[in-house]
Structure 1
Amino acid sequence: MDKLIYIIASTFLISLASLIGVFTLSIKEKTLSKFLLFLISLSAGTLMGGAFLHLLPEASEKLNNGNLYSIVLFSFVLFFLIEKLLHWRHCHKKNCDVHTFGYMNLFGDAVHNFIDGLVIAATFLIDIKLGIITSFAIALHEIPQEIGDFGVLLYSGFSRKKALYSNFLVALTAVFGGILGYFFSFQIENMTSYLLPSAAGGFIYIAASDLMPEIRKETSLRKSLLSFSIFLLGIAIMYLVKFIGHE
């Protein structure tokens, strides 16, 4: 039972990283809008980096390449279908399509956080010290990811307050994953093998289909170069996180 308390405490504290956007509440809307393009660029970079540098390499250790790429492709197509259905069923305004991928990002992030919870539970069940080290590594990994997610939600039309509480509620799936991992550690081991590439496919779709096209629309050379640099920075941050020990 002591280990369960460690798991719940660790996953909850990590979930608090999703509230990092609270620092923007004191910034005026007009000022924030000037930085939105760069926040989108960082979001695209962290999503791409998270998918290709973290989720897929981890999944490749558990699945053969044929199954791995099939699941990524299926997830990519599924996210495309979901976006089209959401747009068809709920959007009637000219620019309504910018809202749909915000909810899709929340879904992908929920899967990702749930997996983090499973990983934390598994390591605590092996050794408490290992669990603490893993939790710390995941927390550092989550900070740039949550900044990126917050940017996606703002761009998709969420207000700052709605983006904050939506991000936090989704982050709490890590707690659920941790509890489930504690009670069903052996039964759910194979499930994570399929969830990892599923989340990766969703992140790749959102970055490539919804965010990067917006970066490409910028006509100013200076802003284009800066946004591209920030996009690369997002990837670089996720690359550096690999060496903290999350894998």
Structure 2
Amino acid sequence: MEHTFWIAFFWSSIAAAVTSTGIYSIRHFAEWGKKNTTYFICFAVGVLISATFLHIIPKSFSMNIQAPRYLLGGFFGLHIFNRFLTAFVCEKDPEKTGYNLGLITMLGIGLHSFIDGFIYSISFRVGIFTGFLATTGMVLHEFPEGIITYLILIRSGFSERASLSMSFLSAALTTPLGMLFSYPLISRIDDSKLGALLALSGGALIYVGATHLLPKAEEENKKFSIIVLGTGILVAIIIILSKA
């Protein structure tokens, strides 16, 4: 049990480091970051969605007979959560920038990343392989998330130093904090409840990949985005087949 805690903590810390790398990159290599963010998103989406459908969802179904209901709940639960946050942002005039918009957006990203920490705890509690698959796509999508968070804060009128600190706190640090907060609770539950939580996580991962990340990539319409997406899918399939 103890070794799974440290593995989950390690990967959640890696996620925080990758987010921080994204923040650093957009601050010091702005053109490179803007040019390649879409490709990072596409690859992450390919891995995330494929791993969820091919391994995480079937695994949760085998652990809990009610898993399909939890899968649906995870998908729409995160959708409603994001709509709730968006409602506050949409009340602001989109033509104006200001501290309020930046702070609300930062809060939304921080809560989202904190919940990501729960997924690290749940997936690694199920098993090392399940945790690795679930978190690979998540770690990859942290890079563009760091870039996006920093840019939003800059455009909201915050200084570079303030944007750097705030984006680190909201997008990076919250993931390992969420893992540390949730693991003591998750480590005490039985396999059936764990399967339910895994299904919830699967629904959340599908939502993040299909309705949050993929549309952003499609908006950019980069020349090689479909190839990078396909590469992410292929990598997930190879990893899963190697385990079979």
TM over 0.5: yes
Q: 2:121 aligns with which of 114, 131, 156?
A: 114
Q: What pairs up with 1:1-247 in 2 under 5 angstroms?
A: 4=2, 6-18=3-15, 19-24=17-22, 25=24, 27-64=28-65, 67-91=66-90, 92-94=92-94, 99=105, 102-103=109-110, 105-119=112-126, 134=128, 138=131, 142-155=135-148, 157=152, 164-165=168-169, 166-175=171-180, 178-180=183-185, 184=188, 187-219=189-221, 223-224=222-223, 226-243=224-241, 245=243
Give the Cα separation in 2 of the matches to 1:160 and 1:244. 40
Give the Cα separation in 2 of the matches to 1:42 and 1:63. 30
- Equivalent residues of 1:49, 1:239 under 8 A apart: yes
CA drift of 1:32 comes to: 0.6
- Equivalent residues of 2:50, 2:233 under 8 A apart: yes
Cα RMSD for the two superposed structures: 3.5
CA deviation profile, 1:149-208 (whole Å, cap 9, x unmatched): 3324533547666555533431354455554565x3xx4332211111111111212222
CA drift of 1:227 comes to: 0.7
- Equivalent residues of 1:76, 1:202 under 8 A apart: yes
Q: Which amino acid aligns with 1:49?
A: S
Unaligned runs of at least 5 residues, structure 1 = 121-133
Unaligned runs of at least 5 residues, structure 2 = 96-100, 154-162
Deviates more, 1:91-100 or 1:104-113: 91-100
Q: Which amino acid aligns with 1:213?
A: P
SS in 2 for 1:94: coil
User: What TM-score does the superposition give when structure 2 sets the normalisation length?
Assistant: 0.71
Q: Which amino acid aligns with 1:205?
A: Y
CA deviation profile, 1:52-85 (whole Å, cap 9, x unmatched): 1232021021133xx3332222222222221221
Q: Which amino acid aligns with 1:76?
A: F
- Equivalent residues of 1:110, 1:170 under 8 A apart: yes
Provide closer, same or farther for how the CA distance between residues 79 and 37 of structure 1 changes in structure 2, counting only shifts above 3 A: same
